[in-house]
């Protein structure tokens, strides 16, 4: 069951990224592989940051059907990264870290 879920999460993550790159690469046939791999890497970066592989793995472990697994993996907001209360102060501004002692400063 875990091996199947792992394979589903890997294939369900890499294949759509490669297809997105290939669709763009079709329009630039002379540099097809540059476009395909470039767009695929950028898409893979976004997909991993959005935690799609985690949702695909969890959905596969729950035994969801194919269509339900795709909807859960790519459209669900569960397990999606969110801003926590610690990241935002009371004025709704991003917190900045300030240091009183810089690395290498002996004062």
**Closest listed residue to residue 69, CA positions, set 56, 54, 80, 53:** 56
Residue 68 resides in a domain:
yes
The angle subtended at Cα 30 by Cα 27 and Cα 34, nearest 5°, is: 80
Residues 40 and 25: their CA atoms lie apart, in Å, by 10
Residue 83 resides in a domain:
yes
Range of the domain at 82: 2-87
Residue 71 resides in a domain:
yes
For residue 89, the 8-state DSSP code is -
pLDDT of residue 1: 83
Tell me: the pLDDT tens digits for 38-93? 999 999 998 988 888 988 999 999 998 888 888 888 888 777 666 666 556 555 55
Residue 96 resides in a domain:
no
Residue 81 resides in a domain:
yes
93-99: long-range contacts at Cβ-Cβ below 8 A with a sequence spacing of 24 or more? none
Cβ atoms within 10 Å, residue 47? 20
Tell me the β-bridge partners of 94.
88
pLDDT at 14 over 90: yes
pTM beyond cutoff 0.85:
no
The answer to whether the Cα torsion of 59, 54, 84, 40 is positive or negative is: negative
Residue 19 resides in a domain:
yes
The total number of structural domains in the chain stands at 1
Residue 95 resides in a domain:
no
């Amino acid at each position: 069951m875990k091996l199947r879920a792992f394979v589903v999460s890997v294939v369900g993550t890499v294949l759509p990224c490669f297809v997105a790159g290939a669709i763009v690469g079709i329009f630039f046939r002379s540099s097809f592989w540059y476009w395909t791999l470039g767009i695929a890497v950028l898409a893979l970066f976004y997909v991993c940051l959005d935690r799609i592989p985690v949702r695909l793995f969890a959905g596969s472990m729950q035994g969801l059907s194919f269509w339900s697994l795709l909807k859960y993996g790519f459209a669900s907001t569960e397990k999606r990264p969110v801003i926590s209360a610690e990241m935002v102060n009371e004025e709704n501004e991003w917190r900045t870290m300030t240091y009183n002692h810089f690395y290498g400063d002996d004062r």
